[in-house]
Structure 1
Amino acid sequence: MLLNTLRTSCTFQICPKILSISFPRYVTTSTSYAETVDLAYSSYESTDDETSTRPPVVILHGLLGSKNNWNSMSKAIHKSTGRKVIGIDARNHGDSKHSPQHTYLHMAHDVMKLLKKLEISKVSLLGHSMGGRTAMVLSLLCSDLVSSLIVVDISPVKTSPQIFSMVNLFDAMAAVSIRSGIAMSKARKLADEQLKGVTPDVNLRNFLITNLIQTNTGSYSWRVNIPALKDNFQQNIASFPTTLKGLQYCGPTLFIGGSLSDYIGKNDLPEMQEYFPLAELQFIEGAGHWVHSQKPEKFLDMVCSFLQEK
């Protein structure tokens, strides 16, 4: 069970100011957790990098995304830092296994399992949105595994009101109907037409449609597990797990926010530092929630500068 893995493989750090909140409080909420799932990943590495002995950078995507969304950025981070970069598909996303369970604790342990399989004992974590919270949870649960942490436009202390509109997107995606046997280009156009009713944002629709796949029989479906994501969204995805209060990750931590996004408040840093005492908070002007795709050059500079120093 996940709990046994947690007890035997991880080092916990308890905040001295909150010692009254004990570890057993977390344990009592965790005993029903299911097993981990196997995760798909892509690796970006070279054999002649001088800095290749430094910890790999593990990238965790956001809700309804995949490792493919980070392909160009992964290559750029590898080229700039010389570090191996590993892009991972979360459970119920991309090419990873599906499961009815979808919590941050599950996702963190999925990543731990993959790193153990790859025989990697230390990593720098970079996570966006849902992936950022997964990275935070992993850092809090197993701090000795994490060399440094970068969290992109998500916070452990607040949630954007916009996030709750995701339920409408789940319903709209589930309702998309495309006949079998037509070309992918036609199918994508039909999906776009049907999604217009729920969001006028063409960039968001294009992002969602990256999840459209054609099966061996010629029918179309979503590669993300819509039912599981919808069932878990309100309770397990939309907010940060409160059961982790009292734990700390005391390594180098950078929060990157978009100045046009409300996922991180400009005054949130003191509360964030209750979990991450060394946390820094920087904003990229003119960027919204998808900071890395809206301002890629500034984002790359910020991330690589942090990784070079830490």
Structure 2
Amino acid sequence: MFHNKMWHNLILQNLKKIPACSQIAISRSLTSDSVNFSDAVDLAYASYESTSDESCSRPPLIILHGLLGSKNNWNSVSKAIHRTTGRKVISIDARNHGDSRHSLQHTYIHMAHDVMKLLKKLELSKVSILGHSMGGRTAMVLSLLCSDLVASLIVVDISPVKTSPQIFSMMSLFDAMAAVSIRSGIAMSKARKLADEQLKSIIPDINLRNFLITNLVQTNTGSYTWRVNLPVIKENFQTYISSFPSNLKGLQYCGPTLFIGGSLSDYIGKNDLQDIQEYFPLAELTFIEGAGHWVHSQKPEKFLEVVCKFLTEK
């Protein structure tokens, strides 16, 4: 069972590094009624490992997916990273996503707490973390609050200092998904086709539709539903998900850090590095040409080359 005392001690170690006025503000935020540390949920995960000694010599890599994604989206990438670096790779479903439990809360503080709980369960005292989009912000929050746990950090196409204007179009996407209606008892292939047809008028990008439809599941009664907790995600989106927590300003993670952006994406600006380094002093920023927000799926070979080089060197 996760102990609140351990969590608070880890946070307080970092609070000592910043001005007293900021310490008070952050402490109040982290101990408010909106963040109950007993609310951590059990996370589903997939582990990629071998029995060789080499795979155990470096910290495991934790992978955190983006909004409306799941650990399954990272299956091939996880295998490739493990094969190339020898590291154990653990890909996680965030709360309200994939096979993890649903919850009424969906904030970056809560999601960082969930990962902490899993690391304690797995008896992992040091890990590297790779997070994309929402998962990238969760990884940043965890690194800032519990820097002693994090050997190195990779953040994919998301920033602590900027929010893409595109992110606010997500509300119409949530509504489009919620409006999908599929009759019970039909084959999954037919259900996916019907879902695609209903989403097409709102979401013209076929790749985005295919990504969203990976969340369509059939219940034991034969009915169809979304496995993501759409109502809670929508309710929390604008306040807690669309931007980085402002109350963490003043904290720093001083370990090796790599930000990877897509050259066609506006989630990270080419001039953002100086502001990013206020949180992550050792941060490096690189862009993968021809990639948009889904860097890892749009340019997988180049993405793996950059990630594995960093993990090997750091």
Q: Per the shorter chain, which TM-score range?
A: over 0.9
Partner of 1:169: 173
Deviation at 1:4, TM superposition (A): 4.4
Q: How many residues align?
A: 309
Q: Does 2:273 align with 1:272? A: no
Match of 2:49 among 42, 45, 49: 45
Tell me, in whole angstroms, the C-alpha distance in 1 between the residues paired with 2:135 and 2:3. 19
- Per the TM alignment, residue 273 of structure 1 is displaced from its structure 2 partner at its CA by 0.2
| 1:119-138 to 2 correspondences below 5 Å | 119-138=123-142
1:92 matched to 2:93:
no
Specify which of 120, 128, 152 is matched with residue 116 of structure 1: 120
> Residue 183 of structure 2 aligns to a residue in which SS?
coil
1:141 aligns with 2:138: no
Q: Secondary structure of 2:83's match?
A: helix
1:187-226 to 2 correspondences below 5 Å: 187-226=191-230
Query: 2:108–2:240: 8 Å Cα contact kept in structure 1?
Result: yes
Whether the 8 Å CA contact 1:2–1:36 is kept in 2: the answer is no
Please name the residue that 1:254 is paired with. 258
Return the offset for 1:127.
0.1
1:29 and 2:33 aligned: no
Letter in 2 for 1:39: L
Larger deviation: 29-38 or 230-239?
29-38
- Contact 2:64 2:136 (C-alpha < 8 Å) held by counterparts: yes
Shift of 1:63: 0.0
Give runs of aligned pairs for residues 290-301 of structure 1, distance below 5 A.
290-301=294-305
The 5 A counterparts of 1:95-106 are: 95-106=99-110
CA contact (8 A) 1:255 1:279 kept: yes
CA contact (8 A) 1:15 1:247 kept: no
The 1-side partners of 2:49 and 2:91 are apart by 12
Measure, in 1, the Cα distance between the counterparts of 2:21 and 2:287. 32
Partner of 2:7: 6
SS of the residue aligned with 1:168?
A: helix
Q: 1:230-253, CA deviations, whole angstroms, 9 ceiling, x for partnerless residues?
A: 000000000000000000000000
Which residue of structure 2 aligns with residue 60 of structure 1?
64
Unmatched 5+ stretches in structure 2:
none
The letter of the residue matching 2:22 is S
| 49, 66, 74: which one aligns with 2:78 | 74
For 1:202-235, what per-residue CA distance to the aligned partner results, in whole angstroms no more than 9, with x for missing partners?
0000000000000000000000000000000000
8 Å CA contact 1:49–1:82 kept in 2: the answer is: no
Deviation for aligned residue 1:12: 3.7
2: distance between equivalents of 1:170 and 1:3? 34
Using the alignment, how far apart are the partners of 1:2 and 1:175 within structure 2?
A: 41
SS for the counterpart of 2:100 is: coil
Give the SS at the match of 1:151: strand
Deviation string, structure 1 residues 261-291 (Cα, Å, up to 9, x no partner):
0000000000000000000000000000000
Amino acid at match of 1:239: S
Q: Shift of residue 19 of structure 1?
A: 2.3
> Residues of 2 paired with 1:279 and 1:15: CA distance?
22
Q: Displacement, 1:14?
A: 5.5
**Matches of 1:40 and 1:277, distance apart in 2:** 32
Alpha-carbon spacing, 1:10–1:19, altered in 2? closer, same or farther (3 Å): closer
Unpaired runs of at least 5, structure 1:
none
Measure the CA separation in 2 of the matches of 1:76 and 1:142.
28
Give the alignment's Cα RMSD to 1 decimal. 1.5
SS at match of 1:29: helix
- For residues 90-110 of structure 1, give each alpha carbon's deviation from its aligned partner in whole angstroms, at most 9, with x where no partner exists: 000000000010000000000
Q: How far is the alpha carbon of 1:175 from its aligned partner?
A: 0.7
